[in-house]
């Protein structure tokens, strides 16, 4: 909020200058009719992280923000005006723009937090990957999730290289640098 | 995570990298089977199902498996605990894949297959056991992180535990139907502003109707310095009579 106020301050000064300052309105003109520039509503807080819970009965979302030991869960309420509620899915990363009302945070809008692909790396959809595997195409499929998740349920023929074992990646990947590598994890995070 | 790993592989000089952004959940949602790891099959807290005919099961099966022939899987579905991770195997890949899809459609969230079925298991060095067919499923859910066990919760309800408070975070409407006599009722959406009503010197057991809201509430309480755990179970109340089911 402070930030946006600072950003808005010059605008307000300008508007007031225009209205009351050096530029004298022509006599007889009603100054009140000159509406100040309206600015799209900016929330008080933007929360980014993984949705760890959502209750439609309590109209509340829990989102885990921050990294590692510093992470904490924040409860945000939603109402009929909240946009993009479908993006608040347990286990998926989201960006929630909220507004403080009295004591509670309310979600104004929810957007999915999309993963950024490194340059030169393209996305593959499940159907295309399925066809490649069925055709026995030469691919190395890598599961980046924790080993426990890999053990419980992984894609056919995938090998497990959890993110925390990334240092060993060089020794676990095939020596041929032109081999087709396909990475996956627990969804868009 | 996968994009991070892809970035690392790129740094290592790999030229041909792609990412399945839909991830394992997207793959399974598309109806394509997933597979279990060896350790999970031999040691995990799972329901391992042999889909072949009973006579095949008798002569050699993966240890710990129960026999539910594919033809009777639909009728036996209600015997399998819905929360259990289920691992299936057969000697026919198509049959296993069909069973995998059937269970997923019925609401089982954790279903996977033994890679290569019984043959794949043997070829990768897995042992087999013989003997009378086992059909009884004995699966017990282990309380996860931050959960209170059903046994301890029930003791608290009966007033047999000291220094414990029970918190009910269901809606006002739900609580009006009935609640535990000993419970403090604060709807989840009012919790943040009513923390002062809860004792800091007691352990707090949180419940709702399934565990989802209780989990959220327990996280919130812990953040504010309370000792809290949540119950994962179906709770239904009428008056002061409550039914709790795992």
Q: What is the pLDDT of residues A126-142, one digit of tens each?
A: 999 999 999 999 999 99
Q: Is the pLDDT of residue A12 over 80?
A: no
Within a 13 Å sphere around the CA of A161, how many CA atoms are in the beta-carbon half?
A: 24
Burial A70-102 (b: 16+ CB within 10 A, else e): eeebbbbbbeeebebbebbbeebbbbbbbbeee
| Whole-number pLDDT of residue A26 | 40
Of A123, A127, A184, the CB nearest to B24: A184
Per-residue pLDDT of A84-119, as tens digits, reads 999 999 988 899 999 999 888 999 999 998 888 999
Output the pLDDT for position A92. 86
CA-CA-CA-CA torsion sign (A89, A95, A100, A101): negative
Q: What single DSSP character describes residue B216?
A: H
pLDDT band for position A164 (cuts 50, 70, 90): confident
Q: How far is C-alpha A28 from the geometric centre of its chain's CA atoms? A: 52
Residues B209 and B235 sit within 8 Å (Cβ to Cβ): yes
Residues in chain B: 246
Predicted confidence band at A58 (pLDDT cuts at 50, 70, 90)? very high
When the pLDDT of each residue in chain B is averaged and rounded to a whole number, the result is 95
Q: pLDDT band at A70, cuts 50/70/90? A: confident
Residue-wise pLDDT for A140-160, tens only, equals 999 999 999 999 999 999 999
pLDDT digits (tens, 9 = 90+) for B51-105: 999 999 999 999 999 999 999 999 999 999 999 999 999 999 999 999 999 999 9
CB of A152 less than 8 A from some CB of B: yes
Phi-psi region of B231 (alpha: psi -120 to 50; beta: other; left: phi over 0): beta
Is residue A125 predicted with pLDDT exceeding 50?
Answer: yes
pLDDT of A21 above 60: no
Check CB contact under 8 Å for A169 and B35. no
Q: Express each pLDDT in B191-205 by its tens digit.
A: 999 999 999 999 999
The pTM of the whole model exceeds 0.75 = yes
B27 with A184: Cβ contact below 8 A: yes
Q: How far apart are the C-alpha atoms of B159 and B14, rounded to whole Å?
A: 63
Which pLDDT does position B160 carry in this prediction? 94
**CA distance to partner chain A, nearest, from residue B85 (Å):** 8
Largest CA distance in chain A: 83
pLDDT at res. A188: 63
Q: Which residue of B has its CA nearest to A172?
A: B9
Question: Mean per-residue pLDDT for A166-181?
Answer: 92
How close are the terminal C-alpha atoms of chain A, in Å? Answer: 27
Report how far apart, in Å, the C-alpha atoms of A108 and of each of A113, A131, B134, B216 are: 16, 41, 55, 20
Query: Hunting for tokens 């286990």 — which residue is that?
Result: A91
% of residues, chain B, pLDDT over 90: 96
Contact yes or no for B72/B102 (Cβ under 8 A): no
pLDDT for B186 beyond 90:
yes
The answer to whether residue A70 neighbours chain B at the CB level (below 8 Å) is no
pLDDT at A38: 39
Closest residue in chain B to residue A116, using alpha carbons only: B3
Residue A41 is predicted with a pLDDT of 54
Cβ pair B112:A185 closer than 8 A: no
Are B95 and B51 in contact by the 8 Å Cβ rule? The answer is yes
- B38 contacts B116 by C-beta, under 8 angstroms: no
Q: Does the pLDDT of residue A32 top 50, yes or no? A: no
> In the predicted model, is pLDDT for residue A44 greater than 90?
no
- Separation CA A62–CA A77 (nearest Å): 9
Q: Please, are residues B20 and B2 in contact by the beta-carbon 8 Å criterion? A: yes
């Amino acid at each position: 909020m402070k930030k946006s106020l600072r950003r808005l301050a010059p605008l307000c000064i300008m508007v007031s200058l225009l209205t009351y300052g050096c530029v004298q309105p022509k006599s007889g003109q009603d100054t009140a009719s000159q509406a100040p520039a309206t600015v799209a509503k900016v929330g008080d807080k933007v929360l980014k992280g993984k949705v760890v819970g959502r209750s439609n009965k309590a109209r509340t979302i829990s989102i885990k923000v921050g990294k590692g030991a510093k992470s904490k869960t924040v409860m945000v309420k939603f109402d009929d005006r909240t946009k993009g509620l479908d993006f608040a899915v347990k286990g998926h990363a989201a960006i929630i723009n909220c507004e403080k009302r009295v004591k509670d945070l309310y979600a104004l809008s929810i957007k999915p937090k999309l993963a950024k692909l490194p340059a030169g790396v393209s996305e593959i959809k499940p159907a295309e990957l399925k066809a490649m595997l069925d055709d026995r195409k030469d691919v190395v499929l890598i599961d980046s999730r924790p080993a426990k998740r890999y053990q419980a349920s992984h894609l056919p023929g995938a090998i497990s290289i959890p993110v925390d074992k990334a240092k060993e990646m060089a020794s676990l990947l095939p020596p041929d640098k032109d081999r087709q590598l396909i990475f996956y994890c627990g969804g868009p995070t | 995570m996968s994009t991070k790993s892809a970035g690392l592989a790129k740094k290592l000089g790999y030229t041909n990298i792609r990412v399945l952004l839909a991830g394992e959940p997207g793959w399974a949602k598309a109806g394509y089977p997933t597979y279990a790891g060896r350790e999970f099959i031999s040691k995990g807290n799972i329901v391992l199902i042999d889909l072949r005919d009973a006579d095949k099961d008798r002569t050699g099966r993966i240890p710990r498996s129960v026999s539910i022939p594919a033809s009777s899987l639909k009728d036996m579905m209600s015997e399998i605990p819905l929360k259990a991770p289920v691992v299936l195997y057969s000697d026919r890949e198509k049959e296993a894949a069909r069973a995998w899809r059937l269970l997923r459609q019925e609401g089982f969230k954790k279903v996977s297959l033994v890679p290569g079925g019984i043959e794949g298991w043997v070829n990768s060095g897995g042992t087999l056991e013989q003997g009378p067919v086992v059909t009884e499923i004995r699966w017990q859910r282990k309380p996860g992180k931050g959960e209170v066990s059903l046994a301890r919760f029930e003791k608290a309800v009966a007033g047999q535990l000291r220094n414990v408070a029970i918190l009910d975070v269901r809606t006002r409407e739900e609580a009006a139907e009935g609640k535990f006599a000993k419970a403090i009722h604060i709807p989840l959406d009012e919790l943040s502003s009513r923390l002062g009503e809860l004792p800091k010197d007691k352990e707090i057991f949180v419940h709702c109707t399934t565990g989802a809201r209780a989990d959220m509430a327990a996280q919130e309480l812990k953040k504010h310095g309370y000792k809290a755990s949540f119950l994962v179970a179906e709770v239904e109340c009428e008056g002061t009579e409550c039914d709790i089911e795992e």
